[in-house]
Amino acid sequence: MKKIKNLNPILQKYSKQGIIAAAVIVVALIGIFAVSHMVKSHDTASAIAEVSTDAANAADLRIAVISMDKIQMDAKVLEDLHKQRANFENKLKTKLEKEQKAIEKEKADIEKSQDILSQEALQRRVIDYQRRVNEFQRHLSESAQSIEASYQDALQTIQKKHLDPVIQGIIAKKNLSLVIDGRMARMGDNVKNLDITDEVVKALNKKVSSVKMAAPKGL
């Protein structure tokens, strides 16, 4: 008897319907292309004719830069959130390792008893084993997704309730016109008071130090 595999094979199915569907899509696209040439279009000049000539004056602009990467590293609330996620991941790892050992033991027991059990009894055990393997894989996937979803929800809470209000407050206090993410900007060495990242981090740390991450499903 061959050894039991941990993963079920993935069956790939092909049918003529896929080819027919592709042909239908091509015909539809040809129809859309033909119709598009029947629609009257305008040149760029006429399209922007009513656009205002008003624009911001550089002399009136007050600009600042923040580094989101630095905020993620230095903000206490985000550091705490990373630790919470790591704790949940460790709990999941411990739980799954225990289940994996039980599954591996079951596999070894089946292989030892294949010459003792009847074909029918052996088949029942193999089916049950494969069910446990599938359940294990499903649980792993769902738990990992649940941890990530909980983490993202907490991030959204931090941004909307804490980080955004801090940045908006600093914008108002400094009378800033524009704040740019430092990952998109290039700055010279002689520019003063442009990077406000440290001030954002300091204010954020004063405002909040921890946001509880909701317990993921099954943990």
Bin 8: left if φ > 0, else alpha if -120 < ψ < 50, else beta.
Answer: beta
Contact 209, 74 (CB under 8 A): no
Distance between CA atoms of residues 216 and 13, nearest Å: 36
Least confident of 51-60, 84-93, 107-116, 126-135: 51-60
pLDDT score, position 184: 64
Q: What is the mean pLDDT of residues 137-153?
A: 92
3-state helix, strand, coil in the chain (%, to 5): 65, 5, 30
**Residue 66 in 3-state DSSP?**
strand
Q: How many residues does the chain have?
A: 219
pLDDT score, position 31: 47
Bin 115: left if φ > 0, else alpha if -120 < ψ < 50, else beta.
Answer: alpha
Strands (E), the chain: 63-66, 178-181
pLDDT score, position 163: 95
Distance between CA atoms of residues 176 and 60, nearest Å: 10
Residue 30's CB is within 10 A of a number of other CB atoms, namely: 10
pLDDT score, position 23: 35
Contact 167, 197 (CB under 8 A): no
Residue boundaries of the structural domains of the chain? 16-40+57-207
Distances (CA, A) of 170 to 2, 21, 56, 209: 68, 56, 21, 19
Please report which confidence band the pLDDT of residue 159 belongs to, taking 50, 70 and 90 as the band edges. Answer: very high
